Amino acid sequence: MSKLIKTDNEYKEWIGELKQRIRQSQIKAAVKVNTELLKLYWSIGGDIVRLKAEAKWGDGIIEQLSQDLKTNFPDMSGFSSRNLWYMKKWYSFYSQPDTKLPQVGAESKSEKLPQVVAEIEKLFFAVPWGHQRCIIDKIKNIKEAVFYINKTVENGWSRNMLLNMIESSLYYREGASINNFSSCLPASQSSLAQELTKDPYNFDFLILRDGYLERELEDALTDNITKFLIELGNGFAYVGRQVRLEVGGDEFFIDLLFYHLKLRSYVVIELKTGDFQPEYIGKLGFYVSAINHEMKLPQDNPTIGLLICKSKNNIVARYTLDTANLPIGISEYELSQLYPKDFKSTLPSIEEIENELKD
């Protein structure tokens, strides 16, 4: 079959065009390695699909194409048959018909690209190939895939970080809190404030015993502040825990205080290890008001409150926020693994280890 394919004029013409295209991309790659490589992969995937290569030249065409490209470009990796299959899959995935996206900061609309890619062309070709393969392996919905492309560029995620975010269902959690931002914040702020929330928050990076207290949860989050900041999302800056406020001669302590760089506002976070209760909002609202009066500068935007609890009744939460006139969001958190209450006591003490070594 290989000899028949090689003598086919259309195939030989295609290989000739590919050789020229690849050589051109090698020159440009010195300046824009990832972008040009991805555009090359996109064009190869598009060729395989548009030419209906398998139907025209048989099931072995991908392997044959791989051999020919590797022979002509022995110093260039990426032309394995597996990678060529991925190029085809990648092109096919984003070329599905009737896929319309909301505006996502598009900078160009190339008529040669499918609508879904043209809308985010510069972002699309900025995401490394390994990330692209992860996305099309794990995601079936184009809008969800585009979400992760945007987040990868925005946050500079590694491939492992991208996988973690996909596995934690970030697409479905982001902006899902119950809140009153639209009624308590200017339109320019409310949408961004909505995006910075999640529901639920994923605290699986914590190690806690069954029956843990709120202070233990707070300790664990601040001990793992880097991972906590990653879960909160891009833009959060840690200010402190148990932040002291003096109001009218009385002392009050805020669980966690952050400043959001994009919103340019303080974010007060209160933690609750049980079910949501309406009275929590009154206390959190007081903290938000106190920060506005005691710490907020004239150039800062209004402070936002975020209550993170173990569980909530969504109807009760919504009704409670109807009574609040300060911007507050309510979310749950997930913690999949808890250790027995006597977890620490089951570990050997230093003395026991030393005695064991002496024996």
Q: Please write the tens of the pLDDT for every residue from 306-348.
A: 999 999 999 999 999 999 999 999 999 999 878 776 655 444 5
Half-sphere exposure of 224 (CA within 13 A, CB side): 17
**Averaged pLDDT of the chain:** 87
pTM reported for the whole predicted model: 0.79
Dihedrals phi, psi of 179, to nearest 5 degrees: -155, 170
Q: CA of 169: how far to CAs of 138, 174, 177, 179, 331, in Å? A: 11, 9, 14, 20, 15
Mean per-residue pLDDT, 42-63: 92
Residue 330 pairs in a beta bridge with 178, 307
Q: How buried is 234 (Cβ within 10 angstroms: 0-12 exposed, 13-18 middle, 19+ buried)?
A: middle
Place 156 in a pLDDT band, splitting at 50, 70 and 90.
confident
**pLDDT band for position 225 (50/70/90)?**
very high
Which residues, other chains included, contact 286 with Cβ-Cβ below 8 Å and sequence gap of 6+? 252
* Domains defined for the chain, CATH in brackets: 31-95 (no CATH), 178-339 (3.40.1350.10)
CB atoms within 10 A of CB 211: 10
| φ and ψ at residue 239, rounded to 5 degrees | -100, -45
Q: Which of 145, 151, 35, 165 is nearest to 101 (CA)?
A: 145
- Distance separating alpha carbons of residues 228 and 154, to the nearest angstrom: 18
CB 256 within 8 A of CB 271: yes
Within 10 angstroms of residue 154's Cβ, the number of other Cβ atoms is 13
Pairing between β-strand 304-311 and β-strand 178-179 as defined by DSSP bridges: unpaired
Q: What is the C-alpha R_g of the chain?
A: 27
Q: Angle, to 10 degrees, between the axis of helix 129-138 and the axis of helix 81-94?
A: 60
Residue 128's contacts (CB-CB under 8 Å, 6 or more residues apart) are: 34, 159
pLDDT tens digit sequence for 86-145 = 999 999 999 887 556 555 444 444 546 788 888 888 889 888 899 999 999 999 999 999
Find how far residue 194's CA is from the centre of its chain.
15
